[in-house]
């Protein structure tokens, strides 16, 4: 039996940071302390903040909701949860139902906003149009744009001063590599642990408390504390995403060469510090159609709405 490096109990996980095996209790406190440290060290949340927690119902966002609820008393901030119903039959509906149950158990208010009501079309309907037009744009691209737009707008309208998302180390490494492969430098500069870099009065600063935590560790943590994670269904459109094969490739690489994901993030942080110092803070413009923040004349949401034939 492998025992914990800090006591004699049975080990349940290995920590690459500590180079040690950990029992259930030590893994839980190690995990929670790392998230707390990230929040404190990088000043992600200040006393008096009103934090909107973006939840999908997956292990990362539920873990984040659980921990932010747990820390809120000592750190003196208030929080509520928001989720977006994309309108994917057999997926969004089940997910939202599970979330309502979880938020209720944690005593957190959950606000649900839908593509259908706010954008004018569900993702299922949008995908039909994309299909007819030869998938020039993929469902995930449109979904991501609409979701970010609605998250920011909903959080702001509900008075949030921060918008917390459950992105973890794996997500950040994947997004960085995708942006690098596309040569999308502005996207790389904008993405980070806290997105205060791009300024606009209507933009709620986004924070990522799980930024340095590998997906695998959150999976272990969520199981150890018994979170009721939504696992039943996978989004049917994931197969169209470029991220899908990249995720598998990165996982294989990590398995053969441990710490690859940490190294990708370290490289990203180095590039960010060099680029941000040179360019200074970016002031985002305003979409001429909807009035929401946009780095182009018309925001991506209005562009895709027009493309899909939705009245703007
Ligand atoms: Fe949206 Fe793509 Fe995620 Fe499905 S897999 S919810 S389409 S981003
Ligand atoms: Zn717009």
Phi, psi of 151 (to 5 degrees): -60, -50
pLDDT higher than 90, residue 188: no
Q: Which mutation among 54, 144, 178 tests ligand 1's pocket best, with the greatest number of atoms within 8 A of CB?
A: 144
Higher pLDDT, 246 or 112: 112
pLDDT higher than 90, residue 19: no
What would you report as the CA-atom Rg of the chain, rounded to the nearest whole angstrom?
20
Amino acid 74: pLDDT: 95
Measured distance CA(222)–CA(126) in Å, rounded:
33
Among candidate residues 191, 206, 200, 208, the one with its CA nearest the CA of residue 272:
191
**Alpha carbon distance, N-terminus to C-terminus of the chain:** 63
Amino acid 279: pLDDT: 63
Between the alpha carbon of residue 104 and those of residues 68, 84, 93, 108, the distances in Å are 15, 17, 17, 6
Buried b (16+ CB within 10 A) or exposed e, 8-27: eeebbbbbeeeeebbbbebb
Domains and CATH numbers, the chain: 42-308 (3.40.50.620)
pLDDT, tens digit, 9 for 90 and up, residues 120-145: 999 999 999 999 999 999 999 999 99
Averaged over 23-48, what is the pLDDT? 96
Amino acid 139: pLDDT: 95
pLDDT higher than 70, residue 281: no
Helix or strand run (H / E) with residue 155: helix 139-157
Q: Which mutation among 54, 55, 124, 241 tests ligand 1's pocket best, with the greatest number of atoms within 8 A of CB?
A: 241
Which ligand 1 atom lies nearest to the CA of residue 92?
Answer: 6
pLDDT band, very low/low/confident/very high, at 197 (cuts 50, 70, 90): low
- Residue identifier of the C-alpha nearest atom 4 of ligand 1: 235
- Helices (runs of H) and strands (runs of E) counted in the chain: 12, 11
Question: Under a CB-based contact definition with an 8 Å cutoff, are residues 253 and 160 in contact?
Answer: no
Question: Under a CB-based contact definition with an 8 Å cutoff, are residues 162 and 276 in contact?
Answer: no
CB atoms within 10 A of CB 209: 28
High-pLDDT (> 90) share of the chain, %: 73
Amino acid 125: pLDDT: 98
Averaged over 20-42, what is the pLDDT? 96
pLDDT band, very low/low/confident/very high, at 299 (cuts 50, 70, 90): very high
How far is CA 302 from its chain centroid?
22
Ligand 2 centroid – CA 285 distance (Å):
11
pLDDT, tens digit, 9 for 90 and up, residues 60-102: 999 999 999 999 999 999 999 999 999 999 999 999 999 999 9
Amino acid 37: pLDDT: 97
Give the ligand whose atoms come closest to the C-alpha of residue 287.
2
pLDDT band, very low/low/confident/very high, at 241 (cuts 50, 70, 90): confident
pLDDT, tens digit, 9 for 90 and up, residues 209-227: 999 999 999 999 999 999 9
Mean of all residue pLDDT scores within the chain = 92
Amino acid 273: pLDDT: 83
Give the ligand whose atoms come closest to the C-alpha of residue 87.
1
Amino acid 198: pLDDT: 63
Ligand 1 centroid – CA 236 distance (Å):
8
Measured distance CA(142)–CA(129) in Å, rounded:
12
Amino acid 232: pLDDT: 57
- Residue identifier of the C-alpha nearest atom 8 of ligand 1: 140
Which ligand 1 atom lies nearest to the CA of residue 56?
Answer: 6
Amino acid 61: pLDDT: 92
Say which range, 33-42, 46-55, 80-89, 239-248, has the weakest mean pLDDT.
239-248
Averaged over 147-157, what is the pLDDT? 97
HSE toward the beta carbon, residue 39, CA cutoff 13 A: 25
Residues with CB under 6 A from ligand 1: 86, 139-140, 143-144, 235, 237-238, 241
pLDDT higher than 80, residue 159: yes
pLDDT higher than 90, residue 258: no
pLDDT higher than 80, residue 283: no
């Amino acid at each position: 039996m492998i025992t914990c490096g800090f006591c004699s109990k049975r080990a349940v996980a290995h920590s690459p940071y500590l180079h040690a095996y950990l029992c259930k209790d030590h893994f839980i406190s190690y995990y929670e302390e790392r998230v707390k440290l990230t929040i404190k060290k990088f000043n992600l949340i200040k006393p008096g903040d009103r934090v909107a927690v973006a939840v999908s119902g997956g292990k990362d966002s539920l873990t984040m909701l659980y921990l932010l609820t747990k820390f809120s008393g000592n750190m003196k901030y208030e929080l509520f949860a928001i989720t977006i119903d994309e309108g994917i039959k057999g997926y969004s509906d089940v997910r939202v139902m599970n979330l309502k149950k979880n938020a209720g158990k944690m005593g957190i208010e959950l606000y649900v906003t839908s593509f259908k009501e706010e954008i004018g079309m569900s993702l299922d309907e949008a995908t039909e149009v994309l299909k007819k037009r030869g998938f020039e744009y993929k469902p995930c691209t449109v979904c991501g744009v609409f979701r970010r737009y609605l998250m920011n707008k909903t959080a702001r309208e509900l008075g949030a001063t921060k918008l917390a998302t459950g992105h973890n180390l794996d997500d950040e490494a994947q997004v960085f590599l995708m942006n690098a492969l596309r040569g999308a430098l502005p996207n790389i500069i904008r993405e980070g642990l806290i997105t205060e870099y791009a300024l606009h009065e209507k933009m709620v600063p986004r924070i990522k408390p799980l930024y340095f935590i590998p997906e695998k560790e959150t999976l272990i943590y969520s199981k150890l504390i018994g979170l009721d994670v939504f696992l039943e269904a996978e989004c049917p459109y994931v197969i169209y995403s470029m991220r899908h094969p990249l995720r598998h490739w990165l996982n294989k690489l990590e398995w053969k060469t441990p710490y690859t994901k940490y190294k990708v993030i370290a490289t990203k942080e180095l590039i960010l510090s060099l680029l941000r110092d040179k360019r200074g803070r970016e002031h985002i413009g305003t979409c001429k159609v909807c009035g929401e923040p946009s780095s182009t004349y018309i925001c991506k949401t209005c562009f895709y709405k027009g493309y899909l034939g939705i009245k703007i």
